[in-house]
Amino acid sequence: MKKKLIIDVDTGVDDAQAIMMALAAPDVEILAITCCHGNTPLENVLKNTLRVLKVCNRLDIPVYRGCAVPLLAPKRNAGDYHGKDGLGDVPDPDAPGLDLLQKRNGVKAMIKLVKQNPGEVTLVATAPLTNLAVAVQLEPSFPEKLKALYIMGGNTNSRGNTSVCGEFNFVADSEAAYVVLDRYTCPTYIATWEFSCRSSLPWSFCDQWFASGSEKAVFMKKISSLSMKKAQSAEYQKEITAGKGFNSCDTYAMAAAIDDTIITESEKVAVTVELEGKFTRGMMVLDYMELLKKKHKVTIMKKVDLEKFKKLLMDALK
């Protein structure tokens, strides 16, 4: 039996890497890709997702339009890192048109697919969690029909990358993150910002990764150039990743969804999201004292088998 995935993305560079990783995994079936605002405005996310599928010769996979704005938070993007278009500002004149998109709304499609495959679908969320929050509002039983949920987002040590204490996906729609962590009681696994930073890829590996010269490798090198340059720049020198290598955040959640043995250390803890703090809005809160009295605990990834992870990345560009 192939693992059935729905991937919820805001396709920037690392989402592209995560999608390509899933496409290359032989025992994975991607039922759909749903798109959300985030790294770049929704129209760009849609175009970028189709571009990735085109280079992988997989335009047969259905792509859906999801939420264009957060539930309540002001809109924000990450154009300084991913490029204004979300894929490194290296446009493709022959990119697929949006006429290839499915007509059904992305959130409704997600609900329908999970209803048709109860207990079989793993949802991998690498974007702000707006689509997931709307899904549970429309269909309260949606989470219990999922096999599992893998999230890239949040933090464990109050180390931010967007605000003082907030990771981008959780800051971009903090209310949605709160709703998802409160109402999704399926097995939930989180690849946090600090975890991905600790597991960053050596620059020497990146050179090797692009070296095959395949069409996919040429594409990946081109779209990654801007963000890699940014990661090596002086203004990033205070970041935890500085100088250590490239942090492909979203691919850690995807790798764990494809092969759970890739995570070598984790912990279970109840979590929530701060919504009111002046400096801490969007920060993930870990309830070690169990004061929240939550029955549902999430699995926080702590260590990864880097060699297995690198192999999944290498396979993605073959």
Active site (catalytic) residues: 10
DSSP string, 243-289: TT-B--HHHHHHHHHH-GGGEEEEEEE-EEE--S-TTTTT-EEE-TT
Helix (H) or strand (E) holding 63: strand 63-65
**Among 79, 101, 83, 81, CA closest to 92:** 83
Which tokens sit at 277?
């703090």
Its sign, for the CA torsion 31, 136, 18, 41, is: positive
| Angle CA 170–126–1, to nearest 5 | 140
**In this structure, which amino acid lies at residue 308?**
K
CA distance 23 to 49: 12
CA distance 105 to 63: 10
Q: At what angle are helices 106-116 and 130-138 packed, to 10 degrees?
A: 60
**In this structure, which amino acid lies at residue 70?**
P
Neighbour-count burial of 207, counting CB atoms closer than 10 A to its CB (0-12 exposed, 13-18 middle, 19+ buried): exposed
Helix (H/G/I), strand (E/B), else coil: 35:
strand
Neighbour-count burial of 243, counting CB atoms closer than 10 A to its CB (0-12 exposed, 13-18 middle, 19+ buried): exposed
CA distance 105 to 34: 9
Helix (H) or strand (E) holding 273: strand 271-273
